[in-house]
Amino acid sequence: MSDILFSLHSWPQAILHIDGDAFFTSCEEAIHPELRGRPIITGGERGIVACASYAAKAIGIKRGVPLHEARKMCPGLVVLPSDYETYSLFSRKMFNVMRRFTPQVEEYSIDEAFADITGMRRALRASYETIAVNIKNEISRELGITVSVGLSLTKVLAKVASKHRKPDGFTPIPGRMIARHLEPLPVEKIWGIGHATTNYLNKLGVRTALAFARLPEDTVRRRFTKPGIDIWRELRGESVYPVCPEEKSAYASISKTKTFSPPSSDADYLFAHLMRNLESACIKARRYRLAAWRIGAFLKGNDFRYAAREIRLSRPSVYPMELSAEMRGLFGDMYRPRELYRATGVVLMELVEHGNIQYGLFEDAVRAERVGDLYRVADEIGARYGKHSLHLGASHGIEEGGSGKRGEPTAREQKRLFGETRRKRLGIPLLHLKVDAGASKPCGERIERRFPQTEETAPESGSPAGVRRGCGAGAPAGGDGDRPAPSGRARRTSARNGS
């Protein structure tokens, strides 16, 4: 295998990676063409930058920057509330454009996807490079957004290619050109390589992707775990992570988090957010007929330090009504009255099939069955009228404590039409709605919102920090706090980065 980098044919396999350019703000620019080229951010409802346009990035505004700091950096900054339902519509339309060229499309996150176009040259009567450019142009023409496209032999190489020329770029890396593209690439820029593995590679004298790919096989197998070996193989042009178009059907854990602004020390408000996270996680678990043996919770302080607790249950459960007492105990162990908190989170762990649950000898099985019946009805109502149409009283404090500009529903939610829910949107061409333009507009002035025609059902938006969908395998090289592995099987629960 030592000569594989230099002896490959150009296209034994063709894998495409499409990455939306500053996706959330690009969607806003498509809806509001008058904003193109201006510094724009989304996340106004959270008090932190969720996504920054390239004009804003050029000023130094990055994701996660507090809103007050961003405004200091750019007084004319356009601040928009995040409209994740609309972004999901754009995302679904983008993936559908890709499926016109190949059915092998893996939705990796809200703004990223892989596609296997191997063997499509004859069917489409075009080269792989032309197919990639045609997909890119179709997305731009139909949605009014730009994407960066990478084409290569493997998922890792395709990801390297798409990052090479952003925004609005296209980079093909055929087999014979792999070494040329890997030579200047630092190892920390390799998809799946994080800080710990980078430090380890640097200690070995390996500082570039090409140097890593040129390591002897026996050295790699002796010094690295399977994820690191898989990344090494992918860099050499050997496909390890397949493009997998199937929806995810199994989870090792399910988590939900919520960041809010301004920070709060109110116990009822914080516990309400924690319970809402629990309800959201349980809804997702029930969708896949899963129940949890363990539940964990955390509070994130205003100083970005975490307090976390977890508990193992006497039997698996997926009903917040049964778990509220345990969650109250975890919250009591973590909460400090004088501290400010900015985020809460819940994790369901040790998931098992819900149908395999056995009740204890002294448990009230009849009551447990009634709770299950209650939540089956709640799920039906939620599917029709919105996810949290029925919720526990403990989570109702979100509405009471979230009043004010940042706590109000988005303009899109306020203008929802009859028959629409958070997850189901009516496709009406040029639907005129209103949304605040942010700090750059005089008080009271509003921008007209134009939605592209669609008849899609928007997928559920999840917690912050980008998530991925599809199947495949892989984990961060070394498993030591690195970035997510190249081809994990996580669904889009965290589609909040958009960059």
Query: Is residue 447 helix, strand or coil?
Result: strand
What Å distances lie between residue 42 and 115, 189, 248, 454, 493, CA to CA?
Answer: 28, 26, 29, 23, 18
Q: What are phi and psi of 273, to 5 degrees?
A: -65, -40
> Which residue's entry shows tokens 């495949």?
472
Other beta carbons within 10 Å of 218: 8
Residue 435 in contact with residue 40, Cβ under 8 Å?
A: no
Residue 52 in contact with residue 41, Cβ under 8 Å?
A: yes
Beta bridge partners of 152: 15
Give just the sign of the alpha carbon dihedral 74, 79, 84, 90.
negative
Q: Of 412, 452, 418, 417, nearest to 435 (Cα)?
A: 412
Token representation of residue 309: 């607790």
Q: What is the DSSP string of 311-373?
A: EEEEEEE--HHHHHHHHHHHHHHH--TT--EEEEEEEEEEEEEGGG----TTS-HHHHHHHHH
Active-site residue 112, yes or no? yes
Token representation of residue 396: 């109702």
Q: Of 400, 374, 163, 215, nearest to 286 (Cα)?
A: 374
Query: Is residue 115 helix, strand or coil?
Result: strand
Q: Of 235, 191, 180, 188, nearest to 213 (Cα)?
A: 235
HSE-CB of 101 using CA atoms within 13 angstroms:
31
Residue 196 in contact with residue 480, Cβ under 8 Å?
A: yes
- β-bridge pairing 446-451 and 431-436: antiparallel
Q: Which of 28, 29, 112, 460 is catalytic?
A: 112
Report the catalytic residues.
Answer: 112
